[in-house]
Amino acid sequence: MNISPTKTPDRITPAIVKGCTQLVPSGIPIFVERAQEHDALINKCVFNVKNYLLSNPGEMVLGWEIAIWENVLLDCIGHAVVRVDGKLKCITPSKYGDTKLLFLPDPSLTFDFSEKMSRMPTTQVAISTRPEVKRLIEIESLERSIKVKYPVSTQEIIIGGQDAYELQRLAKEKQWTILMVILATSDHTTKCLCGSGKKFRKCHRSAMESMLVER
Ligand SMILES: [Zn+2]
């Protein structure tokens, strides 16, 4: 089963607005259409925008792409879009085939094209106060603190030694923590994440519980 609880929100809820305020104090999230450019690459937003602006009008706007794990957290990925005639548009293809994204402009973000270690930041904001959620966010942050030591590449990044060991340990802990978060934040109305359309308690709940027991 492929667990992917985070998705582009359908609408902007009070929880999303509140979470965004933690990231950008006066920030207002807005939906931005994805208008795909033929030579734009997934995950290469700043370079896509830079190339696009060589032959098109507009300016680059940096901010965060906001995805939500309902009742758990906001997943925030640094993202670049284009502003033309006061309107924002995204020219970077979505990994998930989404036609729009929720974008939170952040004037404090910068990107240094002359530095090959430059990368867009990633962060998460808790919506839930549960300790499992806090730990999950800590794990992601620990993983990032290791990965930033290595250059960004389209190829597989080679990580060895203690860092590789630590990443493996964190990946394991993350799996369990995600399961614990799913179990802790589901109620009788929650739909199963597997996409079956069934209630979680009638679908994958017992399978997940036994995975945690077998750990
Ligand atoms: Zn299921």
What pLDDT shows up at residue 153? Answer: 62
> Is there a single domain that holds both residue 61 and residue 92?
yes
> Is there a single domain that holds both residue 37 and residue 107?
yes
Ligand 1 mean position to 206 CA, how many Å?
10
If one counts the domains in the chain, the total is 2
Ligand 1 mean position to 3 CA, how many Å?
10
> Is there a single domain that holds both residue 157 and residue 123?
no
Among the candidates 127, 150, 178, a domain finishes at 127
Phi, psi values for residue 210, rounded to 5°? -70, -30
> Is there a single domain that holds both residue 136 and residue 158?
yes
> Is there a single domain that holds both residue 53 and residue 111?
yes
* Residues in contact with 163: Cβ distance below 8 Å, sequence separation at least 6, in sequence order: 146, 149
Ligand 1 mean position to 185 CA, how many Å?
15
> Is there a single domain that holds both residue 142 and residue 215?
yes
**Rounded CA separation 13/32 (Å):** 16
Among the candidates 111, 127, 143, a domain finishes at 127
Ligand 1 mean position to 132 CA, how many Å?
21
What pLDDT shows up at residue 27? Answer: 93
> Is there a single domain that holds both residue 28 and residue 88?
yes
Ligand 1 mean position to 57 CA, how many Å?
47
Q: Tens of pLDDT along the chain (215 residues)? A: 556 688 999 999 999 999 999 999 999 999 999 987 778 888 899 999 999 999 999 999 999 999 999 899 999 999 999 999 999 999 998 877 789 999 999 999 999 999 878 889 999 999 999 999 999 999 999 999 998 888 766 556 677 789 989 999 999 999 999 999 999 988 888 888 888 899 999 999 999 899 888 76
Domain that holds residue 135: 128-215
Ligand 1 mean position to 118 CA, how many Å?
39
Ligand 1 mean position to 98 CA, how many Å?
22
**Rounded CA separation 100/26 (Å):** 22
> Is there a single domain that holds both residue 8 and residue 107?
yes
> Is there a single domain that holds both residue 154 and residue 97?
no
Ligand 1 mean position to 140 CA, how many Å?
25
DSSP 192: P
Ligand 1 mean position to 195 CA, how many Å?
6
Among the candidates 127, 151, 176, a domain finishes at 127
Ligand 1 mean position to 210 CA, how many Å?
14
What pLDDT shows up at residue 119? Answer: 87
> Is there a single domain that holds both residue 118 and residue 12?
yes
Burial 180-210 (b: 16+ CB within 10 A, else e): bbbeebbeeebebbeeeeeebeebbbeebee
Ligand 1 mean position to 215 CA, how many Å?
20
> Is there a single domain that holds both residue 97 and residue 160?
no
Give the tokens for residue 66.
């906001």
> Is there a single domain that holds both residue 111 and residue 193?
no
